[in-house]
Amino acid sequence: MARDTDSMPQSYEYDVLIIGSGAAGLTVALNLPEHLRVCVISKAEISSGATLWAQGGIAAVLDDTDSVENHIQDTLSAGGGLCHEDAVRFTVEHSKESIEWLIASGVAFTRQEDNEHYHLTREGGHSHRRIIHAADATGHAVSTTLTSQAIARPNIDLKSGRVAVDVITNRKLALPGNRCVGAYILNLEDNHVELFRARFTVLATGGASKAYRYTTNPDGASGDGIAMAWRAGCRVANMEFNQFHPTCLYHPHAKSFLITEAVRGEGGLLKLPDGSRFMDRFDERAELAPRDIVARAIDHEMKRLGADHLYLDISHKPSDFIKHHFPTIYEKCLEFGIDITREPIPVVPAAHYTCGGIVSDERARTDINQLYAVGEAAFTGLHGANRMASNSLLECLVYGRAAAQDIARREADIPPPPPAPDWDESQVRDSDEDVVISHNWDELRHFMWDYVGIVRTTKRLQRAKHRADLLSREIGEFYSNYRVTNDLIELRNLVSVADLIICSALQRKESRGLHYTLDYPGLMHDAQDTILVPTTYRTPSP
């Protein structure tokens, strides 16, 4: 229901507002009863999130030789002692039905040669073949299929080119209760902030890897949902656990292109700028060491040498072998003038996945009533201190379906949202200082990479905290005086999540999983989550 006027921003009311259009958000939308009016918000095109770029697959117990207990134990082992066993069990026990739902929705997973059984692969940390996939572009298959399904649903509105500014709560409206009633959304086409009221709101905004200088994530991964939930009064947990991929293509125009670990598996060698190898100094398995060890080794050598990048060299292999095994990498590198059959690939580690997030339960409910969090934005307890390969898309599906079921169960008891004021732009003006935003953006991502990256120290974290505090005050002043833009919203959110990452890392006095600090290289006896509580936190009702 829109108020159509040229002089004022649009206002909408829905039963369910879903912010984010990746696998998590679309799973919620497609599992809701069709009598509910649903809106899915996306920054860019509907299928532009991290799901689209997922190359691997989805972990699930689909083979008779595998078992739920095997998958659970593998996940617990990978999680560094911090996985919540109840969350792991809940996720794995619902894995098969989630895959069956995707198949029924039309996702064309790769089959074996007999065309009867699905082809399953095995990845790091898994004791069995349990990764169902669509060639090497599973995310693309899932994203495009779910998007087409959503387009066909008359009760679902898909609105692209919009970025969330903040969720709206009873507290903001000076009303009693602890309830979310919608969100303010910036329309990027006309640069006006629109009012979206809803009985239920779902944050499916992805992770926060854009806080780092190098990342494999798409541009929208600026931690929007985590920052909005924190400001609204939700707890966040385990933000110190950022997963880094060891080899991302280093080139000013390459952005987020991964160089798969299979290159090292087929004989690729990591080298310093002088052409010498170094991995054997860090692990007897050299280039075949686990991902976290390789990432730390590359990071150490880059810092020691003051280098921007190192090299991955497979040019000693026959040209035909390289082109046959890695056609996509060969073509992509060639676009940037790099012939990998003749020269090494410049690489750098890159932020890949946010294991922490908004504290949520098995129904994806947060600390605020009628506000849900699903996917990478959420902290469910599944990943612990280190995400196991291919559990991330599974989490999107299982918790997305759980959120939809909870909303369906409760929707008859939840009244319409109360009136809310339009966004007030009367006291702000257009900025003529956009250079401030771009400069602060660069500064943030540089100090996060240098001080809060793969290898940390207390002194580095304290330096980062000081800079984050300065940036936060400067951006807060900018936000109060100027009309909001996409860049300003994302920068504001990135500074917020950066501070959460830094504070979480400072609290953890040990090296566990993805958090490695030179000051505390050992493990503490008791494994505990790092839970941050905002000043606006209120105990949620049952």
Q: Torsions phi, psi of 106, nearest 5? A: 115, 10
Q: Is 436 in a helix, a strand, or coil?
A: helix
Alpha carbon distance 367, 229 (integer Å) = 9
DSSP state of 541: P
For residue 85, what are the contacts with CB-CB under 8 A and spacing of at least 6? 72, 76
Q: Are 257 and 525 in contact (CB under 8 A)?
A: no
Which residue from 236, 169, 211 is spatially nearest to 353, judged by alpha carbons?
A: 211
Contacts of 523 (CB under 8 A, 6+ apart): 81, 510, 511, 512
Contact 154, 38 (CB under 8 A): no
Residue with tokens 């009693």: 176
Tell me the two tokens of residue 375: 């996917």
Q: How far apart are CA 484 and CA 482, in angstroms?
A: 6
Is there a contact between 361 and 84 (Cβ–Cβ < 8 Å)?
no
* Residue 291 annotated among the catalytic residues of the structure: yes
**How far is it, in rounded angstroms, from Cα 485 to Cα 487?**
5
Other C-beta atoms closer than 10 Å to the C-beta of 276 total: 7
Strand partners, 354: 242
- Angle of helix 85-93 relative to helix 95-105, nearest 10 degrees, comes to 40
Q: How many residues does the chain have?
A: 542
Find out whether 540 and 177 touch, Cβ atoms under 8 Å: no
By the 8 A CB rule, do 205 and 216 touch? no
Alpha carbon distance 132, 123 (integer Å) = 11
Identified catalytic residue from 179, 291, 401, 492: 291
- Give catalytic residue positions: 291
